[in-house]
Chain A
Amino acid sequence: GAVVSQHPSRVICKSGTSVKIECRSLDFQATTMFWYRQFPKKSLMLMATSNEGSKATYEQGVEKDKFLINHASLTLSTLTVTSAHPEDSSFYICSATTWGDSGGYNEQFFGPGTRLTVL
């Protein structure tokens, strides 16, 4: 399958600072990237859908001003956690995909995730 990378894999920051997480599709052009959040022992929760060149669509309950998403190219999307607080500590996972010819997304390829710890 296609390869999706995330950087950094781990980050520790102080409360009140901002952190940027990168998601890259390494061997294909991803028209759509998704950002998920995974709590310990919990499922993945979709945060937002990011389409190249347009504003991200956020799921209900996700603060768009806190979690800034930029999808400036077909191979890169970034998630910036602004003014981070300890409750933002989590595992953030991205996926990348394209829209299928017969409708619906093609297979989503997932990055390895980024562990964010806010002190």
Chain B
Amino acid sequence: AQSVTQLDSHVSVSEGTPVLLRCNYSSSYSPSLFWYVQHPNKGLQLLLKYTSAATLVKGINGFEAEFKKSETSFHLTKPSAHMSDAAEYFCVVSDRNDYKLSFGAGTTVTVRA
């Protein structure tokens, strides 16, 4: 069985400061890990994914995440938050057993001017 735990339900940052969203995973098989963003009234958008290549993954809009097998973590970071980053973020795991996506509970990011 696979699952993810997002350690923060809500993160609030000031514009221009770093963002850190924490995610731990559990998987019986070699996992693929993803971060998705959900803006209101829009479909989920893939930010980045890890699929057993480089452990530091760069995504769109300046986001990146590092896969740490020893810590079973896949934290998402961005060096400087923008107002447009305010959204819901989901950490997602998939393994090679059935390739289905298992979503974390989500982290709501608010950005203060």
Contact = CB atoms under 8 A, between A and B. Distances in A.
B91 to A, nearest CB: 10
B101 A46 contact: yes
Nearest to A112: B43
Given A43-B90, A43-B104, A43-B106, A110 B99 contact: no
B44 interface: yes
Contacts of B104: 43
Interface residues of A, number: 23
A49 B101 CA distance: 11
A34 B105 CA distance: 19
Interface in A88-112: 93, 95, 103-105, 107-112
Contacts of A4: 43
Nearest to B104: A43
Contact of B105 (A42, A95, A105): A42
A61 interface: no
Given A42-B105, A43-B104, A105-B99, A111 B43 contact: yes
Given A43-B90, A44-B90, A113-B43, A108 B101 contact: yes
Given A4-B43, A93-B44, A113-B43, A46 B100 contact: yes
B43 A44 contact: no
Interface in B20-44: 32, 36, 41-44
Contacts of B106: 41-43
Interface of B: 32, 36, 41-46, 49, 90, 94, 96, 99-106
> Which 3 pairs between the two chains have the least Cβ-Cβ distance?
A110-B43, A110-B44, A43-B103
25 contacts: A1-B45, A1-B46, A4-B43, A9-B41, A34-B100, A34-B101, A42-B106, A43-B90, A43-B103, A44-B103, A45-B103, A46-B101, A93-B43, A93-B44, A103-B96, A104-B94, A104-B96, A104-B99, A107-B46, A107-B49, A110-B43, A110-B44, A112-B41, A112-B43, A113-B43
Given A104-B96, A112-B41, 16 more contacts: A1-B46, A42-B105, A43-B90, A43-B104, A44-B101, A44-B103, A45-B103, A46-B101, A46-B102, A93-B43, A93-B44, A104-B94, A107-B46, A109-B43, A110-B36, A111-B43
